[in-house]
Amino acid sequence: MKHQPDSQRPGPQRIVCLTEETTEWLYCLGQEARIVGISGYTVRPRRARDEKPKVSAFLTAKVDKILALQPDCVFGFSDLQADIAAALIRAGVQVTVFNQRSVDEIFSMLYQVAATVGCVDEGLAQMALMRDRLAQIEAVVRAQQAAGKRRPRVYFEEWDEPPISAIRWVSELVGIAGGDDVFPELAVQAMGKGRIIADPLEIVRRAPDIIIGSWCGKKFRPEKVMARPGWEAVPAVVNGQVFEIKSADILQPGPAALTDGVEQLHRIVLDWMMNVAPTLPTACGSLPPEGALPALGRPGGGEDGPHAPPLRGSLPPEGALPALGRPGGGVVT
């Protein structure tokens, strides 16, 4: 689709983006000429670092430098940037702060930014492609479940000391990719302090099949995770299923998480389902006798040994097995 020159578009012409996701999205829309300042943490797209002045970190910003750029709009993210926003507003700058925490809220942010720069049609077209791909991923997962593969339990670690579990959009993308977040009750907590796991051994007790680390820009150390005291029997450790996804790809609540982030999650989960997971009885087959259930991977029984991944609760009625672990199907919201 051919992009109109900025001068023919409504909306702000001099935009400062305090976080990466709005920068990447404006580039995706072909509206990068409107951007006059970006976050110093921006790595997507790579060329933005060479083309745009860096005016902020995450919790701090060079307000005088921003004002010198004469922005007619500033995009920010979350209450953590409230002080920056307040200073700019007092200086007479228009500021829009988004607070997206879920997949649906990310899509809402993308729409609002596209509308602000007069690119609704382009925005909707790109968002439709993203939604279609998410639906395709879910269809692949359903096919694996129909073939008797179960969904893996996934522990996503956003920070290591203290351990912090997945924020809501990551938890939802884990679900779309085919896994089940082992701390779903914490994912609804917007702030990191609400997702601190007070007892690290609770992670062990939840027996994740896959561990994924993304330590907010700090290098993930899988060998350090696998060597934690008491973790030697965790299924993910036993099977070598400990991985890193870069923070820029999954902890950015924008195009990155909905594309590269979920694709990496899906590759990890699909590999586990196809090559590591035990096969469950399919809906068209007969269920094993009650006494044989431990052999399906329940701890402490059967040929799988003491470290085999346990089943998620009791088996559902015959005919419901393809939907095991995903009540209702569809995109998690």
pLDDT tens digits along 286-313:
333 333 333 323 233 333 333 333 322 2
Q: Is the pLDDT of residue 319 over 80?
A: no
The full DSSP string for 229-240 is TT-TT-HHHHTT
Helix (H), strand (E) at residue 314: none
Cα 52 from Cα 40, distance rounded (Å): 10
Contact 270, 176 (CB under 8 A): no
> Which tokens go with 70?
């004469």
Three-state DSSP state, 161: coil
Yes or no: say if 26 and 34 are a contact pair by the CB < 8 Å rule.
yes
Q: What's the token pair of residue 175?
A: 């679900």
H or E element, residue 220: none
Asked if 56 and 62 count as a contact pair (C-beta separation under 8 A), the reply is yes
Q: What is the pLDDT of residues 184-205, one digit of tens each?
A: 999 999 889 999 999 999 999 9
CA–CA separation, 224 and 136 (whole Å): 35
Question: What sign results for the dihedral spanned by CA atoms 111, 20, 52, 45?
Answer: negative
Rounded Cα distance, 114 and 68, in Å: 25
Beta-carbon contacts of residue 46 (< 8 Å; ≥ 6 apart): none
Reported as a single tens digit per residue, the pLDDT across 109-158 is 999 999 999 999 999 999 999 999 999 999 999 999 999 999 999 999 99
For the chain, list the domains and their CATH numbers.
6-99 (3.40.50.1980), 150-281 (3.40.50.1980)
pTM of the complete model: 0.81
Q: How far is CA 231 from the centre of its chain?
A: 25
How far apart, in whole angstroms, are the C-alpha atoms of residue 10 and residue 112? 14
CA distance 31 to 16: 13
Other CB atoms within a 10 A radius of the CB of residue 298 amount to 14
